[in-house]
Amino acid sequence: MGDFANWFRKSIVVAAAATMGLVSTGYAQAKPEKFKIGGVLSLSGPYGLLGEDMRRGVQIAVEERGGKVLGVPVEINWEDDETKPQPAVQKATKLISEGSHMIFGALSSASTLAVMNLTKQRKIPHLVTISADDKITVPGGSRYTFRTSNNLGMENRMALAYMQDRKLKKIYIVTADYQATRDGYEWIKSQVGSSGIQIVGEDFPPLGNRDYSSIVDKIAKSDADGVLLMLTGSDVVTLLKQAGQVNLGKNKLLFGPVAADETMAAAVGPASLGVNSGLRYDHSIDTAANRKFVEAYRKKFGIFPSMTAGEAYDGMAWWLDTVEKTGSWDKEKWVDAFAISVRENSVEGRKTMRACDHQALQPGFWGEVVQGTPPAPALTMKITKIFPEEKLFAACKG
């Protein structure tokens, strides 16, 4: 009888505490002193060039709301995954153990997929704003992961449309030896034949490759009229620099799903002129929300925001606004709300979160590196085509 009485008294205390919001239950959670964001980014490694800009974009999203959400200060803790999946999981695990209310990142798709499995297991909201692997957003993939940026499928469709528009006949493909880009290569390979396009050469250099001279030589000697670069970050910078040494772009069109933005063009130099690329974001997109963001970013950092900065800002601003609207500290309510949310004032135009797979439906942008005129960067992106979302996304299955 004594054991029953003790159990009963403890149950009453726990129930009372839950009612007052002092302990976490499935329905109510205590209001903390801070809203903690755990960020896992590539601040070194092949994609280190891009990670710092993501951090800056998030910073603007937090600052524009006074640094608070749900009435408490936002605290961001950043970790470097070195563009590798294992450190990404280790760093995300650390951030969760330190009380992060959500995980932001990573940058590479391999790291993001690894973090996605962890956040699904730990039931922690997970925001993705740059990784494009289609496997990140599939029906039944993860209740807790959301992507507000492009997926690989839409970018490859834009690259294929570019080849068709330019009436290319023969292409050489350089694909980073990495699962997401290899998947993209396989899709392109399955599509080009019906368009009358022949693949005359292909190479699969490792991530972080520093010498593309032999590949550039093979491309130069080929009869390809176009070169599809399924690379990004320091990989595409290195290749374009070495291609510029032999004026490869003079007789062959250089393009890719994510081959260029202002950050990468600046790193390459004049050899980037004429490179065509899919754009996940660009500072020149003419929306009221983007003009406001660009102004805030330039005021704080003295430069125009890059592709990764713009996407990071847009996704985080959307997420924080949605959390605020719930008025709740229940993470499950945040997840439910985000799954059916619409971002009318995205920097890119309207975005709709698709409940079936947690992929944001959105327009697609294609552009070319051109000589900029002040105050734009010396090498800037000119948007040459905008694709409506219905041309880029297949209907959800499953």
Under 8 Å between Cβ of 313 and 57 = yes
Which residues lie closer than 8 Å to 260 by C-beta, 6 or more apart? Answer: 236, 268, 272, 275, 276, 277, 367, 369, 381
Number of independent structural domains in the chain: 2
* Same domain for 137 and 60: yes
pLDDT at residue 46, rounded to an integer:
83
In a domain, 168, yes or no: yes
* Same domain for 302 and 290: yes
Return the higher-pLDDT residue of 8 and 31.
31
In a domain, 2, yes or no: no
pLDDT at residue 30, rounded to an integer:
83
Tokens standing for residue 57: 């974009």
Q: Specify the DSSP element, H or E, that contains 171.
A: strand 170-175
* pLDDT digits 0-9 by tens, 294-312: 999 999 999 999 999 999 9
In a domain, 314, yes or no: yes
pLDDT at 2 over 80: no
- 113/157 Cα distance (integer angstroms): 22
* Same domain for 105 and 52: yes
What values do phi and psi take at 363, rounded to 5? -70, 160
pLDDT at residue 398, rounded to an integer:
59
Under 8 Å between Cβ of 80 and 13 = no
Which residues lie closer than 8 Å to 277 by C-beta, 6 or more apart? Answer: 255, 256, 257, 258, 259, 260, 261, 366, 367, 368, 369, 381
**Phi-psi region at 317: left, alpha or beta (left = phi > 0; alpha = psi -120 to 50):** alpha
Label residue 15 by pLDDT band (50, 70, 90).
very low
* Same domain for 52 and 141: yes
* Same domain for 135 and 157: no
* Same domain for 209 and 131: no
* Same domain for 259 and 234: yes
* Same domain for 210 and 226: yes
Q: Return mean pLDDT, the chain.
A: 92
pLDDT at 369 over 90: yes
* Same domain for 267 and 162: yes
In a domain, 17, yes or no: no
Q: Which domain holds residue 66?
A: 35-150+286-362
* pLDDT digits 0-9 by tens, 92-101: 999 999 999 9
* Same domain for 138 and 53: yes
In a domain, 26, yes or no: no
Strand bridging mode 170-175 / 226-230: parallel
* Same domain for 143 and 167: no
In a domain, 75, yes or no: yes
* Same domain for 119 and 246: no
Label residue 397 by pLDDT band (50, 70, 90).
confident
In a domain, 8, yes or no: no
CATH number of residue 245's parent domain: 3.40.50.2300
In a domain, 328, yes or no: yes
**Distances from the Cα of 112 to the Cαs of 11, 108, 360, 362, in angstroms?**
41, 6, 17, 21
